[in-house]
Amino acid sequence: MSSNGAYHPIRPITDDEVQAYTAHLDLAFHENPPQEAHDLAMRLLGGRAIAGFDGAELVGTGGDHVFELTVPGGVTVRAAGVSYITVKATHRRRGILTSMMRYQLDGLHERGEAPVAILEASEPAIYGRFGYGLGSQQFELTIPRGDNGLSRVPGGDKFQLRMADPLQAYERCQEVFEANRLGRPGMLPRAGDAWHDSALADHDFARDGAGPLRCVVAEDAAGRAVGFARYRIKEDWDNPARPDCKVRAKEVYGRDLASYVAIWRFLLDIDLTSEIHAEVPTDDPLLFLLADPRQAVPRVQDELYVRIVDVDRALAARRYAAPVDVVFEISDTFCAWNTGRWRLRGDAEGAVCERTTDPADLVLGPRELGTAYLGGFSLAALGRAGRVEELRPGALAEASRAFVSDVAPWVPFGF
């Protein structure tokens, strides 16, 4: 494994270097979180924090979380959630970031640990150089208070809504979350105590100026939790004519459409508030239930970036919406083991991807493959943008139909 830049070795940090690591994160991200936020970050990393050094000085940081990422077909693939990537401002353009990317991707490949890497980019242009492609988007919504414009759905009034302590209700809510996880590409599990604590983090830094975390649960006739929301209220009493407090929805889930809408009706009509802010998938049912879509004031945000670490394992792990038999020719300068021709054969039941000497049908790079992997962006659209070259007539349409997902990809929480 390559672990060194020219003068800046990359390696896992030691216990004695944790304080320098978190101090560097504060400097790079212009933040000043409390110690408990630092402690949680290190617990989430679980010993997978790495750093670059100039002598004894820590000058770059990185790390990753190993997840089971939901992919098209309701199955999962092992994925490395890359995070905490920084380089000290005094040490730019010395190859430190490239060395960290090399250390991570080489290691994932050599250990056979995860055929896919994902990240949420502060500056997206940086990561395209290393083969990461935009894999999902989301809508940031601002909706005025009032549920009158939200269509009613059958069964939406049959639930009992109860306020609950977020900690005490966590396991019940987690069951609802798990009922949703395999139904949407991009979803991630919350495994272990650290991710439990991350979901419920409620110190001032986590609140971002809003009030404490609140939780509402929808129950069916048997008392089973079928929906929930975690949210905060941002106080604003400056308007003398009316209260102008804002609801900030952190998570909203239902086991079915009726329970999901019941929770949204509650959030959209909380007393003494004027609007609600939420982040939702680009195909969220809420968008089609509003009588006036302009109410939502949607803003598109890029979200998950995907890097295919091992082409054969990654493509064989997901399912395909239509039968596909196509040969990709891939040129991958950063992960050279992916370079060559790969034959993908698959359908809704499974897939096989193997090296081949057969003539190529499509020519593309790792960024394009990463963009198409979760099914939110079509290979046909990439072809129209000149990012995929078709050598066999009809191959692009065939592969595009197979890769697309009926459900838009979306990642449920940051990492």
Q: Structure tokens of 309?
A: 């670490």
Query: Is the model's pLDDT at 193 over the cut of 70?
Result: yes
- Tell me what percent of the residues of the chain surpass a pLDDT of 90: 89
In angstroms, rounded to a whole number, what is the distance separating the alpha carbons of residues 255 and 137? Answer: 23
Q: Is the pLDDT of residue 311 over 70?
A: yes
| β-strand partners of 339 | none
Q: Which of 301, 335, 361 is the last residue of a domain?
A: 301
Residue 128, domain member (yes or no):
no
Decide if 120 is inside a domain.
no
| Domain limits for position 225 | 138-301
Assign 328 to helix, strand or coil. strand
Per-residue model confidence as pLDDT tens digits over 352-401: 999 999 999 999 999 999 999 999 999 999 999 999 999 999 999 999 99
Element housing 307 (H / E): strand 305-308
Whether residues 296 and 318 fall in one domain: no
On whether the CB atoms of residues 367 and 311 are closer than 8 A, the answer is no
pLDDT of residue 6: 53
Is residue 296 domain-shared with residue 316, that is, in the same domain?
no
Residue 35 lies in a domain: yes
Q: Is residue 1 scored above 90 in pLDDT?
A: no
The count of other CB atoms within 10 Å of the CB of residue 329 is 18
Evaluate whether residue 409 is within a structural domain. no
Number of compact structural domains in the chain: 3
- Position 4 scores a pLDDT of 46
Same-domain check for residues 257 and 145: yes
Q: pLDDT by residue (tens digit) across 213-236?
A: 999 999 999 999 999 999 999 998
For the stretch 197-206, pLDDT in tens is 999 999 999 9
The continuous run of DSSP H or E covering 122 comes out as: none
What is the pTM for the complete model shown?
A: 0.93
- The answer to whether 277 and 270 are in contact (CB under 8 A) is no
Spatial distance between the Cα atoms of 227 and 172, rounded to a whole number of angstroms: 9
Catalytic positions, written as ranges: 127, 415
What CATH code is carried by the domain that includes residue 297? 3.40.630.30
**Average pLDDT, whole number, for the chain?**
94
Cα 92 from Cα 342, distance rounded (Å): 37
Per-residue pLDDT, averaged over 298-320, amounts to 97
